[in-house]
Structure 1
Amino acid sequence: MSLEREPDLVAALQAFRDAHGGLSEAHAVRALLILGLDAVAADARATP
Structure 2
Amino acid sequence: MSYREIAAALDTEVLRPKRGERWHPETVRRMLANTARFSYSYGRRTGGGE
Q: Please, what TM-score do these two structures have when normalized by structure 1?
A: 0.58
User: Which structure shows the higher helix fraction?
Assistant: 1
Give the aligned length: 37
* Displacement over 4 Å in runs of 4+: none
CA RMSD of superposed structures (Å) = 2.2
* Structure 1 match to 2:2: 10
RCO (CA 8 Å, sep 6+): is it higher in 1 or 2? 2
Structure number with bigger Rg: 2
Structure 1 gaps of 5+ residues are: 1-8
Percent sequence identity over aligned pairs? 8
